[in-house]
Structure 1
């Protein structure tokens, strides 16, 4: 990379903070650092034309976990840990709303619903039985019951009689959210460079030498906000998890409004205006979906279409308009990793598929590692 004197002077000289990743975490980290250090030089590096992971590719769920997801988490986490996870997700959503604004997010508080397929009898019975317990567990946070049992009013097919409703859940416009965060970064004199891949870094005394292929520059501090791409950085504590998504063309007289969860959250769908967006299915092929490849597979796409045809829109014709994938970061524990890796290098990763909810808070916590 041959740079001019001007390029070197304005972009790559006297850099205080370099952030790798321009998604929800990276931009919130940059904005928090700007609040704390008004005159600092802050540089964000992004390997994609747009944020490469899941920040611009998610389904736009402002959620913090369905009943079956929370019960599933309780198999590998203590009650206190699960409550802390939900608290972080809820606090993160409030921070996102405060930073971006509900109007810019196009936040629609339609509530969230968990559905159970006819064949999911045992999960359904367990969730109904443990509903009071989950509400009691979350009461210190919400002061009221979060989940209630309701009869399905959307004419879904092949599901159990009752759905579980959560009035605190909402949907957002993912594209609007990220556009606004990028605008805020520019307004706050944060430099963003796209299509820049950090190939390595070396700490030297009080600086970090950051390498972009055959070019390098010095930064006082280096932050990684690369979530699903952070495997090597965290010695395997973060694994990539691909999420496949599709969206229909507009459907006349669509009467479905809200965010919906199926199969412990492995499948999810929502309306976007008069379309249905549906995603998930990595539980059909965990090994195959542990990848950073942004592509789709027949097994999962067929399942998404089958759910549309047989469960969600049984009496309506529809056409698929677009398909895509995003890369999440998961691990053995749902708690995000926010830590100092060395004297001048830090990371905020492993968002566990809850990036919309928890990303803002992880970005703040990452920036707060600097005094």
Structure 2
């Protein structure tokens, strides 16, 4: 593609910062840079028509981790590390809300619940016995106990009569949230080019040179905010993790509102008005879902439909109206990778399926890395 003089002068010349990825992390990074360096020329390159990956494809959970997920994390992380993870998620959610406002992102603080299937009754008692321990660990983060046991009053079938509830979880309108971020970036003079892929880059004494789908570009600093796609550009320990999601048609007299978790967070559902969003099942085929390819599989979709029909909405009439998938970035550790790869190249990736919660803070920290000399 030949770039015109006008295109080059307006968007591509004398770039101070080039950010790869226009999701929550990338735009948050750009906004932080703009606040600290009002005169900087900032460009975001995005390979998709929408922010590729998960920022416009997530389930809209403003969450910090279910009881069983946190207990599972304690098998591979220290208590301090787990508390730090939850703190980062909680602070990140508040940062997103403060930046955009609850109305703009459709935030609803409806709380979160965890269900346990009857087949898990033996294992569940061990989890419930740990509530006091986890509450003591996390009370300093929230200023109150985050978890308590409540009865199942929602009509779910095949689950134990006890649910775990936390009042600090909420949900957002993902589309409105990203639209608000994109609008704010535009207001602040941050240029975003969609449909542009980064092929390779080289950090040289005179700047960073990028080979892209529209030709060669250069910038003073390059910042990678590509999360699950980071492995395509670097050798960082980031694995893509596809998450499949479906949404129902409106359900008459939907008996629940809020965010719900099942099977250590591998399944999750919530209301969108009177619709139900249901996603997960990656644990059924972790190898197959370790991919950067979008799409659905019969194995996972059929299990989502089965749980929806038998557990979540038994004896209810509805149809499936939407199906899609998003790509997360995961690894052996839940802590995101914030690192300088060279003098003028930095990354903020591997958000561990918690992009809504931590994307704003990771973006701000990535900007701080990029501004270092």
TM-score, with normalisation over the residues of structure 1? 0.99
- In structure 1, C-alpha distance between the alignment counterparts of 2:123 and 2:161, rounded to whole Å: 13
CA contact (8 A) 1:206 1:344 kept: no
Q: Helix, strand or coil: the match of 2:245?
A: strand
Which aligned pairs between 1:201-240 and structure 2 lie closer than 5 A? 201-213=201-213, 215-240=215-240
- In structure 2, C-alpha distance between the alignment counterparts of 1:214 and 1:3, rounded to whole Å: 7
Q: Which residue of 1 aligns with 2:102?
A: 102
User: 2:266 matched to 1:266?
Assistant: yes
Q: Which residue of 2 aligns with 1:149?
A: 149
Gaps of 5+ in 2: none
Give how far 1:283 is off: 0.1
- In structure 2, C-alpha distance between the alignment counterparts of 1:123 and 1:77, rounded to whole Å: 21
Give how far 1:142 is off: 1.3
Q: In the superposition, relative to structure 1, how do residues 359 and 115 fare at CA in structure 2: closer, same or farther (>3 Å)?
A: same
- In structure 2, C-alpha distance between the alignment counterparts of 1:79 and 1:225, rounded to whole Å: 28
- In structure 1, C-alpha distance between the alignment counterparts of 2:366 and 2:250, rounded to whole Å: 40
Q: Which residue of 1 aligns with 2:56?
A: 56
Q: Which residue of 2 aligns with 1:183?
A: 183
Give how far 1:214 is off: 6.2
CA deviation profile, 1:245-281 (whole Å, cap 9, x unmatched)? 0000111111210000000000000000000000000
Number of aligned residues? 371
CA contact (8 A) 1:68 1:123 kept: no
Q: In the superposition, relative to structure 1, how do residues 234 and 121 fare at CA in structure 2: closer, same or farther (>3 Å)?
A: farther
- In structure 2, C-alpha distance between the alignment counterparts of 1:75 and 1:284, rounded to whole Å: 21
Deviates more, 1:211-220 or 1:356-365: 211-220
Which aligned pairs between 1:93-172 and structure 2 lie closer than 5 A? 93-172=93-172
Q: In the superposition, relative to structure 1, how do residues 234 and 81 fare at CA in structure 2: closer, same or farther (>3 Å)?
A: farther
- In structure 1, C-alpha distance between the alignment counterparts of 2:53 and 2:156, rounded to whole Å: 32
Give how far 1:161 is off: 1.3
CA contact (8 A) 2:338 2:366 kept: yes
**What RMSD over aligned residues (CA atoms) do the two structures have, in Å?**
0.9
Q: Helix, strand or coil: the match of 1:98?
A: helix
CA deviation profile, 1:272-299 (whole Å, cap 9, x unmatched)? 0000000000000000000011100001
- In structure 2, C-alpha distance between the alignment counterparts of 1:175 and 1:209, rounded to whole Å: 33
Which aligned pairs between 1:1-371 and structure 2 lie closer than 5 A? 1-213=1-213, 215-369=215-369, 370-371=371-372
Q: Helix, strand or coil: the match of 2:333?
A: coil
Q: In the superposition, relative to structure 1, how do residues 214 and 156 fare at CA in structure 2: closer, same or farther (>3 Å)?
A: closer
Gaps of 5+ in 1: none
Give how far 1:213 is off: 3.2
Q: Helix, strand or coil: the match of 1:229?
A: helix
Q: Helix, strand or coil: the match of 2:260?
A: strand
TM-score, with normalisation over the residues of structure 2? 0.98
Give how far 1:121 is off: 1.8
- In structure 1, C-alpha distance between the alignment counterparts of 2:302 and 2:79, rounded to whole Å: 37
Give how far 1:4 is off: 1.3
CA deviation profile, 1:131-175 (whole Å, cap 9, x unmatched)? 000000001111211100000110100001100000000110000
